[in-house]
Amino acid sequence: MAAFRKSTKLVVVAFVMLAALSALFVIYGDCEEYDDSALLSEVAVIPDADNACTWYTQAVDSMMFDMAQNDSIYRISIREIWDEAFVVHCLEANRKVFPLVDAGNACLRFQAPAAPDASVPEPDWIQYYRVYRLLELKVLLDVAQHNSGEALQDLLRMNAYVRRFEEGSSSVTHNAMGLIMLKRCEETLRYAVDAGVLDSGQQRELIDWKEQHPLTSLGEVRAWKSQFAMLKTLVDSAHATARFPDGSDLGPFNDFSTATFHRLFRLNRTKKLLAQKYERILNQISTPYAQLSNSLPGLDDAPSGREGFSLFSLHLVPNRLGKYFVDAHVPVFGKTHHGRLFIQWEERANLILMAMRVHHAQQDVPVRSLEQLTPGILAKVPDDPFGRGAILYDSDLGSIRSVGLNRLDDHGSVELLEESLRVNLFKGQLDHLDLVLDLGR
């Protein structure tokens, strides 16, 4: 009888483990196979996909222009957004509202409303989290530009979204996302205080307290929330007297225009050594950017809404061939949802951000010489060791020479001539590709 009970327990345990593995397979499989073509239409804050594409293009265009003007001031990383988005996406896999691969770009697609809509009976927590991330990015930009008025306004809006989370449900998703928001809001506040935008003794006390009590578990959230209330009080009291730089009143939360999001990126303030290491690279790609964006052919001939900038994170890791590979995670925008290029440049855990312009042309348009703008070389691609079309880089081969482009072949790949740069498309149609890359070290 004891042996029977033991075997029964083993069977039950086996079934439980099988069920857990099946659940994980469903969640991660959903993440892997998720088709985000309907993403824009699913989100209520964006009226239509065309406007979203226009807004996103303008936002990144303006961001890159600022980057060109300010050279090495900005150190950018979206890996954190991707990591957080992965958690959120897995928790909400059944709703299919948050793509995994281009999570950082997805965050940037959303135009934030003035404030959370309290009348919505079941708030869309993921949507709130996206908007919150946009506000955080905007605050960091405000601080970098010494715009104390807008920084305070955006902190107020961040506060409004955190409040909605605190008033929300007690689901696992809500708790996980709320924890992320609280941690990031404190980090943003610290940066604002350190920059002198919101300098006060009470705020400094909050920062000092947080540094002595690191938030390492959900059990600490409640204690930290009591300290976070200090920020609420400070910001709320400041709202009555806050003014824009021109002296105008801060105003209510109903004038949140897309113009305020024309420059969206995160300052990488925690990796000073990385910033120094890649300062020369960032300077090289940022300084000539304005001229390059105006010199590439075919931009004026494109149909409306069929071109846009995309962002991707870069890591650097030497592959077994002694070269570097670039494997991309970049969404392609247009009036219809186009395919994705996937790029990722790796070297250990260090991160920098660059830009790629993806252009949908109705006819072949050659890419002009990038030699004078981007030192580095795109090497020939041998047999792809990664099985999906890698971009290999050899730093000893010289500089980029003029490249041309073939149309898509039957296998959905694009070939850049002369240096034989080959990348594969996972899906969709792409006729023309302009690369803006500095591969120097």
Task: Give pLDDT tens digits for 263-276.
Answer: 222 222 222 333 33
Residue of 68, 85, 107 whose CA lies nearest to 331: 107
pLDDT given for residue 191 in this prediction: 61
* DSSP state at residue 272: H
Using CA atoms, how far residue 354 sits from 134, 290, 395, 420, in Å, is 19, 14, 18, 21
Chain center to CA of 116: 22
Please say if the pLDDT value at position 196 is more than 50: yes
| Distance (Å) of CA 128 to CA 107, 132, 308 | 11, 6, 25
pTM recorded for the entire structure: 0.27
Q: Which residue has better confidence, 157 or 133?
A: 157
Check residues 286 and 178 and name the one with the higher pLDDT: 178
What residues contact residue 275 under an 8 Å CB cut-off, 6+ apart? 72, 75, 268
Are 327 and 397 within 8 A, CB to CB? no
- What confidence category does residue 173 fall into, taking pLDDT thresholds of 50, 70 and 90? very low
Q: What is the number of other CB atoms lying within 10 angstroms of the CB of residue 60?
A: 23
Q: Is the pLDDT of residue 236 over 60?
A: no
Q: Predicted confidence band at 160 (pLDDT cuts at 50, 70, 90)?
A: low
Phi-psi region of 105 (alpha: psi -120 to 50; beta: other; left: phi over 0): alpha
Condensed to tens digits (0 to 9), the pLDDT of residues 37-59 reads 332 232 223 223 333 333 333 43
Pick from 53, 179, 90, 353: nearest CA to 99: 90
Cβ atoms within 10 Å, residue 284? 19
The pair of structure tokens assigned to 305 is 């809404």
Q: For residues 306 and 334, is the Cβ–Cβ distance under 8 A?
A: yes
Query: Domain coordinates of the chain in residue numbers?
Result: 40-261, 272-436
68 pLDDT more than 50: no
- Kindly state the helix (H) or strand (E) to which residue 79 belongs, with its residue range: helix 79-91
Please report which confidence band the pLDDT of residue 238 belongs to, taking 50, 70 and 90 as the band edges.
very low
- The more confidently predicted of residues 432 and 22 is 22
Mean pLDDT of the chain: 37
pLDDT of 76-124, one tens digit each?
222 233 333 333 333 333 233 222 223 333 333 333 344 444 444 444 5
410 vs 201, residue with greater confidence:
201
